[in-house]
Structure 1
């Protein structure tokens, strides 16, 4: 099975549309799934949700999804500095106010975890396990510099074994590592990359009986349309700059 895994769209409709148009042209993708954080930071939360629902794309809840759905005190995001923290609160307040009740109810329905058996449910073969942040909390960042022992601990929490693939997002930075036969894949971000490449990103994961292949894909999209949408809204212009710069944070004052 060939899976396209999209994560951290963050309300960026132009980026999502471009990724889906790209996937429609590929013949090597059997299923598309999302790994959460569908809203926040860009002005199309409802439109992103409507498009995913129209395309019947299943997935898991991100921290931004569940906090928006429940009206939690904050978005569960990590802040690089006080400027980023203040901007994050502005984004969350805007998202709470502009996400419809119907969208919030749908976000609340998203599961924390999805397990798939690519070779068929009757076969005790490899599994693809989807979470947003990590198996314990969606607010904990699982970065590439985490140790192999940390990865093994997370695999144990999920009951993963050699041959399985654990996929997640949340950090907006793509990476892939194999530890004790378990594959760990961070898919990167569709709508808010942080690796200084403004293009939308996703991961294609192929799982066969004895092999796992991971491809990180970048897709050009109309970043200026997305940035203009931010600037035309009442969101901070800094979020438009962030998109255009591929994730370079605003300098602290």
Structure 2
């Protein structure tokens, strides 16, 4: 049994369409799940939510989803400069103004976390847990430089044991590690990568199908999509033009240019 895990679409419809097409073409994926942050930063929040609903893709709430749904004062995003702070508020305000009541209702109904037992409910292990940021907060940034002790703390908070897997997003940078027999997987981002690779990213996980089978190592997949269409969509909207540049650069500013604007 194989799962496709997608996260941080951030209203980038061309990227989501390309990823789902890639998943469909594989023909051996049994289920697709999303790990939140469906909206924000690009001009297709309603279309992204509509496609997720149309495809029946289950998932959880990212910080952007839950704050938009509840009209919170800000998106819970990390800002590393005054301009980044300004951009985050512009994006959040734009999204709240343009998201439809139906999409907003859908975002508000997303759960905080999901737990799956691929062998069925009568078995206790292995368990696959999906969160957005961490098992404690969907705004917590679980970066690759976190020590093993932090991973162990999060595994304990989630009730995970040896042989289990926990997947998350939020940082837009893919990575994986195994600590104490628990597999930790950051799926990266479909619609707003920040690792210098503009291509949409997602993860495939083989969770096995028979008693005694272990969850396999994650396969990180990158998919080319219509970047020009995505950038033009941003430029044609009244969102900041900088968001188009961030898509084109994979969230990393080329050498010789000013320090990059970090907008999670």
For residue 97 of structure 2, what is the aligned residue in structure 1? Answer: 97
- Equivalence map 1:147-158=2 (5 Å): 147-158=147-158
Report the Cα distance in structure 2 between the residues aligned to 1:211 and 1:198, rounded to whole angstroms.
Answer: 29
For residue 162 of structure 2, what is the aligned residue in structure 1? Answer: 162
For residue 228 of structure 1, what is the aligned residue in structure 2? Answer: 232
Q: Give CA deviations for 1:96-134 in whole Å, capped at 9, x if unaligned.
A: 000011111110000001000011222222010000000
Find the residue that maps to 1:37 and give its secondary structure.
coil
For residue 75 of structure 2, what is the aligned residue in structure 1? Answer: 75
Question: In the alignment, does 2:25 pair up with 1:21?
Answer: no
- Equivalence map 1:26-41=2 (5 Å): 26-41=26-41
For residue 50 of structure 2, what is the aligned residue in structure 1? Answer: 50
Q: CA deviation at 1:252?
A: 7.0
Q: CA deviation at 1:211?
A: 3.8
Q: Give CA deviations for 1:72-116 in whole Å, capped at 9, x if unaligned.
A: 010000112111111111000000000011111110000001000
Q: CA deviation at 1:213?
A: 2.0
Aligned CA distance change for structure 1 residues 61 and 82 (closer, same or farther; 3 Å):
same
Decide whether the 8 Å contact of 1:3 with 1:33 is kept in 2. Answer: yes
Aligned length: 253
Decide whether the 8 Å contact of 1:11 with 1:41 is kept in 2. Answer: yes
Query: Bigger CA drift: 242-251 or 98-107?
Result: 242-251
- Equivalence map 1:72-221=2 (5 Å): 72-208=72-208, 209-221=213-225
Report the Cα distance in structure 2 between the residues aligned to 1:211 and 1:42, rounded to whole angstroms.
Answer: 35
Question: Normalised by the size of structure 2, how large is the TM-score?
Answer: 0.94
Decide whether the 8 Å contact of 2:74 with 2:89 is kept in 1. Answer: yes
Report the Cα distance in structure 1 between the residues aligned to 2:111 and 2:199, rounded to whole angstroms.
Answer: 28
Q: Which runs of 4+ in 1 moved over 6 A?
A: none
Q: Give CA deviations for 1:221-252 in whole Å, capped at 9, x if unaligned.
A: 01110000000000000000000111125747
Decide whether the 8 Å contact of 2:132 with 2:169 is kept in 1. Answer: yes
Decide whether the 8 Å contact of 1:2 with 1:30 is kept in 2. Answer: yes
Decide whether the 8 Å contact of 1:81 with 1:252 is kept in 2. Answer: no
Q: Unmatched 5+ residue regions in structure 1?
A: none
Find the residue that maps to 2:225 and give its secondary structure.
coil
Find the residue that maps to 1:213 and give its secondary structure.
coil
Q: Give CA deviations for 1:41-91 in whole Å, capped at 9, x if unaligned.
A: 000000000000000000000000000001101000011211111111100
Q: Unmatched 5+ residue regions in structure 2?
A: none
